[in-house]
A and B are shown apart, each in its own frame.
Chain A
Amino acid sequence: MPPGGFTASGKESYAVIYADNAATTRMSEAAMDTMVAMMKESWGNPSSLYAHGQEAKEVLEKARKDIAEAIGASPREIIFTSGGSEADNQAIRSAAALGRKQGKMHIVSTAFEHHAVLHTLDALREEGFEVTLVDVHENGLVVPEEVGEAIREDTCLVTVMYANNEIGTVQPIREISAVCRKRNVIFHTDAVQAVGHIPVNVEEDGVDMLSASAHKFHGPKGVGFLYARKGIRLKNLIEGGAQERGKRAGTENVPGIAAMAVALKEACANMEGNAAHLTKIRDRLIAGLREIPHAALNGDETRRLPGNVNFCFEGIEGESLLLLLDDRGICASSGSACTSGSLDPSHVLLAIGRVHDVAHGSLRLSIGEDITGEDAENIIRNVKEVVSYLRGFSPIWRDLTAGKKAFIL
């Protein structure tokens, strides 16, 4: 048996270092307790008028208030969704619908957005919209002035993610929103990786719409929310009822929503301490993995999420790296083509200028609050061993070291 695994209860049966928190996080105990309690006690339909239904409605509205407070919004500006992807879809579709009415059919975004954004933009292109993707540069950071240059008279939306899900770079959101405001263009940000991890405040940040997902901050899967500034008319993606002020039909997932609110409150209350701890471990991981020859950090070294480390290692392929790390009890992810099920490696790595050859050899570690210094040393040691083992029978590495091919990194 490989040294790693979870039991059905979610507890580790033996030592596992879970370093894939950007994919999903383990639910917090408080969120789980809330969810179960709601299932047992407040399972009524919030739209029902009898006491049991209204009790569920109260739970729902309390969650809305807590979530609004956590991001500096007012409760009426929060719409519950099935997650970040739905929120992204709804935000972009809403701005596009407004734009179409005004004859504004141009959208500004970036090439390294999440596919929930990029694929929605692709669909809008088919419907006649034009999309400009601004450069994210080698360091994975958008330049606000370049957003300004991309905005046209007919631009109806700028959508730029708060923090990138693969390379963790945190965008200059306030500067970007200032540019948008000056030009009177709606600004949406996919903040799925940011909310609960770094300070997010829709007022101070100046964003008009924001998407978030519960399972990225120790809440349950299948729940998220869209913040839409008062006055922005939302377009429905799902028709069929008066829930969410008529903007999102379907009986609300009350247990999930209540658990999301609890998880977010908890994440925000502990944010400062968690971030300090994670940043320290992150920087140790970066320093340790840098010792591997012909390796490179992806994304800006400091302007990145406290828990994100992303490297490219020349001469190896990411999936085999992940499988061997899994054997050693380390859960991580990669942007290699083989892990995405397509022929192309991660669009994020390609967007920051990594060529295919090295993008296939990427490793993303997204660490969680429970990580220890000892775990970091364990990760560094194992990654070094596995990279060196795989390079040992890589024909590319042979050619590189024999001087038949030039190193890229």
Chain B
Amino acid sequence: MALYSEKVMDHFRNPRNVGVIEDANGIGEVGNAKCGDIMKMYLKIEDDVVQDVKFETFGCGSAIASSSMATEMIKGKPLSEVKQLTNKAVAEALDGLPDYKMHCSVLAEEAIHSALEDYQKRTGRKI
């Protein structure tokens, strides 16, 4: 039994949506360097849809894979759907995470929610 599922390793080795969106209108950063995990999500939202999403992550394999998977799950999706994304859904989409790595999927959920909050603050719009 390997530490991580094939899906986790795939997203870790070939992370999707890596990088920065210069004109993002929702940015969320969670975690801290002391604990060894930081996730930053950049959202470009138009017409209540996540048109584009990018991430930067400092963290372990499952943190990088969770960020990558979460971005895939919200890209092109309406905000009504995006705001309902849970860490459980991220972990399940990765075919599971070891128990002590579940907090990585929590960070992904929190990073997205934090970016959505930032979007609401910037635009004054309610989701």
- Chain A: residues with CB nearer than 8 A to chain B? 315-320, 323-324, 327, 336-339, 341, 343, 345, 356-357, 360, 393-398
Contacts and interface: CB of A to CB of B under 8 A. Distances in A.
A357 B59 CA distance: 11
Given A393-B15, A395-B40, A320 B34 contact: no
B76 interface: no
Contact of B37 (A317, A323, A345): A317
Contacts, number: 68
Interface of B: 9, 12-13, 15, 18-20, 29, 33-40, 55-64, 100-101
A217 B40 CA distance: 45
A395 B35 CA distance: 14
A332 to B, nearest CB: 15
B35 A393 contact: no
Contact of B36 (A317, A323, A327): A317
A254 B60 CA distance: 42
Contacts of B15: 393
A337 B58 contact: no
Interface of B, secondary structure class, is mixed
A320 B68 CA distance: 14
Interface of A, secondary structure class, is helix
Contacts of B101: 338
A317 B59 contact: yes
B58 A316 contact: yes
Contact of B35 (A318, A320, A327, A337): A337
B100 A341 contact: yes
Contacts of B20: 398
B13 A397 contact: no
A338 B104 CA distance: 11
Contact of B58 (A317, A341, A345): A317
